[in-house]
Amino acid sequence: MLLAAFFILVVALGVAFDVLVGFGGVAVGAAVAIAIAMSIGSYFWSDRIALAMSHARPADPVEHRRLHNLVDGLCIGAGLPKPRLYVIDDAAPNAFATGRDPEHSAVAVTTGLLDKMDRIELEGVLAHELSHVKNRDILVTTISVVLVGVVALLADWSLRFFFWGGPRHRNDSSEGRGPAAILGILGFVLIIFAPLIARLMHFAVSRRRESLADFSAVKITRYPPGLVSALEKLRDDTSVVHSASRATAHLWIESPLERKRARGAWLNRLFDTHPPLEERIEALKEL
């Protein structure tokens, strides 16, 4: 459904651009080609893009023995193949899972998470990320990283072209000017609101999945206080992941973006991809 919505939105962008500029169907054909290419590419390579954007490096089995041991045990208990493990050099405690299925998955954790969590808390966080793998959330959330970014870039490029280049072909005859003007207005509105529509698609697949992954993690560890303690530490820690962006924010166990002090923090709160940590903690305590 996400890929279908992305395909329709990109083609609609192409139609809007064609109406505004008058390329005679070229923009529509280009939009169809882009939608097909990005749908295929995001399915097979979006996990690599997400890891590269986060500056993740493979976790050395010797240097990060505790991480590998915990994941080995959790995978046996959950009946999952072991994912590829990555480490991100960042003091902020956080983690995310990515991939397209359990056989092609990866889990990345920050050095801050490894340093600040004890064994039980780290096990809870890792169980949460493995729950995303087991529930197959990773395909949807990882693909949306690429799709939302592509829609935003296409809309931005279209607006820049329209403002700076302008329509190349205008119909100066009075006949048909009214319908063309209406289509032009609709196209312009679509181009402006396409990134917002893409973000709404983004939110639709992330907030509920975080809460579901919390409960699934408890099923794996059989110990709710471990994840509760980890979430409380994440709540009290005010550091942010430097390599994170709005495109990848929904992947992490909690929002990696600044939401209190920095300029634009209000925007991060407005478009928060995660349920409040307090709600998640209270829900787990009720177990």
Q: Which residues are catalytic?
A: 129
Long-range Cβ contacts of 67-75 (<8 Å, 24+ apart): 67/109, 67/114, 67/122, 67/126, 70/119, 70/122, 70/123, 70/126, 71/107, 71/126, 71/130, 74/123, 74/126, 74/127, 74/130, 74/220, 74/221, 75/130
For residue 12, give every residue at least 6 positions away whose Cβ sits within 8 Å of its Cβ, in sequence order, or none: 190, 194
Q: In what order do the strands lie in the sheet with 95-101?
A: 56-58, 84-88, 104-110, 95-101
CA distance 2 to 173: 41
- The phi-psi region of residue 21 (left if phi > 0; otherwise alpha if psi is between -120 and 50; otherwise beta) is alpha
One-character DSSP codes across 126-138: HHHHHHHHHTTHH
Q: Which of 274, 284, 283 is nearest to 253 (CA)?
A: 274
Rg (CA), the chain: 22
Token pair, residue 19, equals 């109406």
CA distance 268 to 255: 9
